[in-house]
Amino acid sequence: MVSTHSTLKSMLNGSTTFRRGGIGRPPNSKRTHPRPGRHCVLPLAASVCFMLGAASAWAQPPSDVPLELRPYRVLISVGFAPEASFTPRFRQQVRDEMARIADRTFYQMWDCRMEENTWLTPANADGLSRVTSEVSLKRLGEVDYDKVFLLTVQLAGSRQLVAVREWDAATRELGPIFDEETPVRRRMAEHAMSAVARAFRPVLSIESSEDTTATLRLRAGAFPPPDPAAEQLRPGDVLQAFLKSRDFDGNVGRIQLLRWTYLVVDDVQGDRVTCTVASRLRAPLRGARRRVESLALATRVAHEATRLKLVLSSNTKRPLVGHQVRVLESILPEREAPRPSELFVTDRRGTVMLQRRSEGRLVWIYVLSGNSLLAKFPYVPGSEVQQTLGLSDDSIRLRVEGELDLLQGDLIDLVAKRAQHILLARKLADLDQWERVDEQLSLLRKLPNVGQFRQRLSTIRVPAIEAVRADKNSLAESRITKICTRMSELIDRYVDDDKIRSAEEQIAELRPDAGQ
């Protein structure tokens, strides 16, 4: 696991103020980090609104409070593995220390509360990995938090291992597991909070979007953290879009992840974020609908690689084996020549391993089948352990491509043989060896002609077209038609019988009895 000690270093060097119970600020606490000028007023106003508007600190904030003024209500649920060394006193110390670090790191951005987890079994990284979104929803859906961090502490030999996983209430999605380990017991809380910071996925609201750009509003964007390293977003970060629908009563209904649609952060100005849209779909965010909220959640890369599995969309049990997968750092403009790229071939399970990029960058993935592009989509390698993509069946078209390759091979032979016979006939005519000239011309005439090649082309095209029509695969049909048309043009161009006639006429003029 990659450690983010740099983030925590700034935390540790700061003051030791904390909020007991995760809310409010001790009267004697003092701010140690300067605030950016333009945000000086907003946090204060937000705090006032928040304090006044809420009977309880954990109550739902009023919906009319702008998103950027809404701090995250965070619960850190810490589970300790049943180890003798994890005494109640130790556990309490860890929680207290974590609360202090959270406060000085995020301050108003988070309203953080700590608790000891009692339901996660086993209380370790394995147990964490077994938690599903459904379990999370069941356990955490009722509680009134925006973010819940499930954190486990266990021993790994002489070292302490902390693992953390975030659950986001807005999207009801579980994030990946981040872990850190330390040999120093007293620094465990620091490492735990470092892992929490890494697991934290900011939430944004998509305010407007064009084909390739979007403007978003960042939750709690008005509360910059005291620690610059704890900033929610930076240019280059990648967000994933969600559509959250509500019923007439305003209850949350379906939350839909816009798969293969990402927003790459271009600029962050306080709470306002501008992004570039990268999607497999055309304009996926356009067309605002009533009662549908467009949200975005930052993508966090927790894995070294993602296993991407390609399957047949009509039969997901059938993997697409041996398909070329090209990975590019950016999208390839239309009609541009292919750039150097990483090339993979799907294995017998239809999978390829996509290694994570530095800082969790987005890549463009091109799935090829022969000379055709089967799919083109953006992805953040390392954001998931495995991802599956269903693609249409291209086998018939590919078979046609192979048969056309064979036909083209014969075409090459034919052209060379024609040239050979014509050349020889002309040479022999110059030498007045007319019997051998006739022999060459006879061989020339015996070679396959345009009609035969066209017939072969038809025997390739017609059954293939019928087959794809039966499958109702119009894309394959158009592609087959296209490559067959191209081959037909090649046949017309290179197997032109006029060339033979022209050569024969030229040779005939050279015959001694040509004038008679």
Cα Rg of the chain, angstroms: 34
Which positions from 429 through 488 interact with another protein, judged by CB under 8 A?
none
* Near another protein by CB under 8 A: residue from 86, 344, 377, 453: 344
**Using rule CB under 8 A, residue 62 touches another protein:** no
**Using rule CB under 8 A, residue 368 touches another protein:** yes
Which amino acid is present at 377? F
**Using rule CB under 8 A, residue 502 touches another protein:** no
> Residue written as tokens 């006029």?
498
| Torsion angles phi and psi, residue 57, rounded to 5 | -65, -25
| Binding footprint of another protein, residue count (CB under 8 A) | 34
**Using rule CB under 8 A, residue 415 touches another protein:** yes
Give the shortest CB-304-to-another protein separation in angstroms.
13
Which positions from 254 through 293 interact with another protein, judged by CB under 8 A?
none
In this complex, which beta carbon is closest to another protein, that of residue 60 or of residue 314? 314
Select from 185, 120, 105 the least CA-distant residue to 152.
Answer: 120
For residues 391 and 311, the answer to whether their CB atoms sit within 8 Å is yes
Count CA atoms within 13 Å of residue 387 on its CB side. Answer: 18
46-70 b/e with 16+ CB inside 10 Å = b?
bbebbeeeeeeeeeebeeeeebbbb
d(CA 103, CA 109): 9
The binding track of 300-339 with respect to another protein, each residue x by CB under 8 A or -, is ---------------------xxxx---------------
In this complex, which beta carbon is closest to another protein, that of residue 17 or of residue 341? 341
Question: Which residue(s) pair with 156 in the sheet?
Answer: 159
> Residue written as tokens 């709470």?
271
**Using rule CB under 8 A, residue 348 touches another protein:** yes
Give the shortest CB-493-to-another protein separation in angstroms.
14
**Using rule CB under 8 A, residue 343 touches another protein:** yes
**Using rule CB under 8 A, residue 156 touches another protein:** no
Which positions ≥6 away from 93 have C-beta within 8 Å?
Answer: 189
* Near another protein by CB under 8 A: residue from 45, 281, 416, 508: 416
**Using rule CB under 8 A, residue 40 touches another protein:** no
Which positions from 160 through 179 interact with another protein, judged by CB under 8 A?
none
By CB atoms closer than 10 A (0-12, 13-18, 19+), residue 187 is middle
**Using rule CB under 8 A, residue 395 touches another protein:** yes
In this complex, which beta carbon is closest to another protein, that of residue 246 or of residue 417? 417
d(CA 148, CA 166): 6
Q: Which residues bind another protein (CB under 8 A)?
A: 321-324, 343-349, 368-371, 395, 398-399, 401-402, 405-406, 408-410, 412-413, 415-417, 419-420, 423-424
